[in-house]
A and B are shown apart, each in its own frame.
Chain A
């Protein structure tokens, strides 16, 4: 697995953890265990996003921070085999 795919896997893993615990917290907003889990994975998620984007470009349009070139629309797009 190349570096890009390894970092993307981390982003996806931490993001999914947040999506999943977020759904749980919607129905259990005061659960201390879930809140702690959310905080832990939020930090890991933000770190993973920063690591990915610094090397491989923006994951969201607002994260395009290259002042010289618009890299947002570069291939591959997520539905492609190369992604």
Chain B
């Protein structure tokens, strides 16, 4: 089970609202390579993972992704504070506003709602781990694209932190190859396929 910690993993304090930028960053919440998909992917891949050490990695990275959902959502919340009608119209935030006001809804920058169709749980150790490596790279490049378009240092700072974490997760998943049998694993009993 999970226990909620009343803190962000890394602070988010954005002085200037910017709804146009929120429209782009929202992809890291509910887009094809966003944090909601990442958390769902890793946490759901655990059950068919036969190796104790990799169950640990999936649990811990999946848990950290839940914290990243919260950080991205905090960025979106702060970027859409105190908007006037004029801000909403001029920034192009109006289409989103019609459906969600300033609620934080998981969707891609293109407006497509979050879909589990963006992720896989194959039940195959190698296929799942290779997908996880690719997923970390795709999330990293999405953060790179956000950094190309975002000037505000208050936004860039937490985005850079999140980008770094993608690199660390990629490294940790890479170290899981070949799947680790050290540690107290019952892999030999469970891996019948």
Contacts and interface: CB of A to CB of B under 8 A. Distances in A.
A47 B48 CA distance: 34
A74 B183 contact: yes
A75 B52 contact: yes
Interface residues on B, range: 10 to 19
Say which size band chain A's interface belongs to: 10 to 19
Nearest to B180: A73
A82 B52 CA distance: 13
Contact of B60 (A61, A71, A74): A61
Nearest to A57: B184
Interface in B148-193: 183-186
Contacts of B47: 79
Interface string A43-83: 00000000000000000110000000011111111111010
B56 interface: yes
Contacts of A77: 46, 52, 55, 59
Contacts of A72: 56
A71 to B, nearest CB: 8
Interface in B58-100: 59-60
Interface string A4-33: 000000000000000000000000000000
Contacts of A80: 186
A82 B56 contact: no
A2 B184 CA distance: 19
A80 B47 CA distance: 8
Interface of B: 1, 3, 46-47, 52-53, 55-57, 59-60, 183-186
A-B complex: 3 closest residue pairs judged by Cβ atoms? A73-B56, A74-B184, A75-B52
24 contacts: A60-B3, A61-B60, A70-B183, A71-B184, A72-B56, A73-B52, A73-B53, A73-B56, A73-B183, A74-B52, A74-B183, A74-B184, A74-B185, A75-B52, A75-B55, A75-B183, A75-B184, A75-B186, A77-B46, A77-B55, A77-B59, A79-B46, A79-B47, A80-B186
